[in-house]
């Protein structure tokens, strides 16, 4: 257990700690009960939460006792943002999102065996609390000057929109969570993103003032790219972990497209590969960057972690099949639809339209003469099969799962055709 901090530090998973030396001693003497909180302010966790989930798993694998908190209460308020008041969601929506996050988190931790994780919901102890009890038992331990000095609060106060009492109170609720978990489960460590440092310290101070206890906080750094820009944004927004918000295929492709300068760092942070394997992949990046072996391993590992081995296998099969490395007819409709979601498309009439019609309809060629030349030069493919006859008719039998077919010009210009 005493090696876990060294491992986390090597992986780039430590930003700050309240007292790292004391925490190291506690982890060495362990097991330590620890927790991280996840607020249902949206219907899915995203790449930022993934860092915390990986950290929780590392600690559990090292023998420590995990508590995963879904904020059914704090999700009704939402952590204050640097600018702009949050729109409050209804209780029904938050309850639904709480269940979705519960299911997502359960994939990452072991809730059975000799060292099972425990899932908790802060609504269980917050909802029965009266306003008077909250003010007397919790509020009395907070000093307004300390609360006003929090970075997010200070920024909001100096802005035109200000901050409501609702969001201002969030730090008290988060501190109360740590106090409650300390009393119920003996929890002595809270983890979170480094941007949560102020809120995390709220619980440390509350436990000291209310019960005279000493507890710890450990934060993870904000993950950035090598050039210092923000990590994890796509054209569609965040890198969601829910498959109905970002398909496993799109998720896999996000990681495959990691820059060479970032891939080794991401392998350390987002996978559980050991140092020897990551060192091998680092050498592969240096020796043969065009092969992109490290990126493919990263994508495979993270997609399997989030979506499971079966989903990863389907995604890799689809990736290979799109450009001739496998049989398109083996792909199910959902995986195929995800794989071609971003490619151009056109419509044809099965039994009447030719390959030339398909090339033009899909926008791969501007005119029929140009499309005929492509076919004549051997550059036209239907479902990865080279077509040499420009008059070849596209039939119902050419349609794959989901009623689509793939037409390609050359090696990389791909499009979808439908009825």
Residues contributing to the annotated binding site for L-tyrosine: 35, 170, 174
Angle between helices 260-270 and 47-61 (to 10 degrees): 50
Residues making up the binding site for ATP? 233
Contact 61, 4 (CB under 8 A): no
For residues 199 and 170, the answer to whether their CB atoms sit within 8 Å is: yes
What gap in Å lies between CA 45 and CA 267, rounded to an integer? 20
Pair type for strands 233-234 and 345-347? unpaired
Strand 16-17 versus strand 118-121 pairing type: unpaired
Rg value, the chain, Cα: 26
Output the known binding site. Answer: 35, 170, 174, 233
* 22: CB partners within 8 A, 6+ apart: 214, 216
Q: How far is CA 238 from the centre of its chain?
A: 8
The total of other beta-carbon atoms located within 10 Å of residue 295's CB is 23
Q: How many CB atoms lie within 10 A of CB 386?
A: 12
Instruction: Yes or no: say if 417 and 346 are a contact pair by the CB < 8 Å rule.
Output: yes
Three-state DSSP at 270 gives: helix
What is the Cα–Cα distance from 381 to 383, expressed in whole angstroms?
Answer: 6
Q: Write the DSSP string, 218-254.
A: EEEPPPB-TTSPBSSEETTEE-BSSTTTS-HHHHHHH
Place of tokens 């299911």: 103
Least Cα distance to 62 among 5, 124, 119 occurs for 5
The Cα-based distances of 247 to 122, 241, 307 in angstroms read 30, 9, 10
**Nearest partner of 33 among 7, 52, 59, judged by Cα:** 59
Q: Which two tokens stand for residue 327?
A: 């049989």
118-121 and 189-193 strand pairing = unpaired
């Amino acid at each position: 257990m005493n090696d876990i901090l060294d491992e986390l530090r090597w992986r780039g998973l430590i930003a700050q700690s309240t007292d790292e030396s004391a925490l190291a001693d506690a982890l060495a003497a362990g097991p330590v009960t620890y927790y991280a909180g996840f607020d249902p302010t949206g219907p899915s966790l995203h790449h930022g939460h993934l860092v915390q989930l990986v950290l929780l798993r590392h600690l559990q694998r090292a023998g420590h006792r995990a508590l995963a908190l879904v904020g059914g209460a704090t999700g009704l308020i939402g952590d204050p943002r640097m600018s702009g008041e949050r729109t409050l969601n209804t209780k029904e929506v938050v309850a639904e999102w709480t269940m979705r996050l519960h299911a997502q988190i359960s994939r990452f931790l072991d809730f059975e065996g000799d060292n099972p994780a425990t899932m908790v919901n802060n609504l269980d102890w917050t909802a029965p609390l009266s306003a008077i009890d909250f003010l007397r038992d919790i509020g009395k331990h907070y000093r307004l000057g300390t609360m006003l000095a929090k970075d997010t609060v200070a920024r909001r106060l100096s802005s035109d929109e200000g901050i409501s009492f609702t969001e201002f109170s969030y730090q008290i609720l988060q501190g109360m969570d740590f106090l409650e978990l300390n009393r119920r489960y003996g929890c002595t460590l809270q983890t979170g993103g480094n941007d949560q440092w102020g809120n995390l310290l709220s619980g440390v101070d509350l436990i000291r003032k209310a019960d005279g206890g000493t507890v710890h906080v450990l934060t993870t750094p904000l993950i950035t790219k090598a050039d210092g820009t923000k990590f994890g944004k796509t054209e569609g927004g965040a890198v969601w972990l829910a498959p109905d918000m970002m398909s496993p295929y799109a998720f896999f492709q996000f990681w495959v497209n990691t820059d060479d300068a970032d891939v080794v760092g991401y392998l350390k942070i987002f996978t559980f590969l050991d140092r020897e394997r990551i060192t091998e992949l680092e050498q592969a990046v240096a020796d043969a960057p065009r092969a992109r072996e490290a990126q493919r391993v990263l994508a495979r590992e993270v997609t399997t972690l989030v979506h499971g081995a079966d989903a990863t296998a389907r995604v890799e099969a689809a990736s290979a099949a799109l450009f001739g490395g496998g049989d398109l007819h083996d792909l199910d409709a959902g995986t195929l639809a995800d794989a071609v979601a971003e490619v151009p498309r056109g419509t044809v009439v099965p039994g009447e339209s030719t390959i030339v019609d398909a090339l033009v309809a899909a926008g791969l060629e501007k005119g029929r003469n140009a499309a005929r030349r492509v076919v004549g030069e051997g550059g036209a493919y239907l479902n990865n099969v080279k077509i040499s006859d420009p008059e070849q008719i596209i039939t119902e039998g050419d349609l794959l799962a989901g009623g689509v077919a793939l037409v390609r010009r050359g090696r990389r210009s791909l499009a979808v055709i439908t009825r």
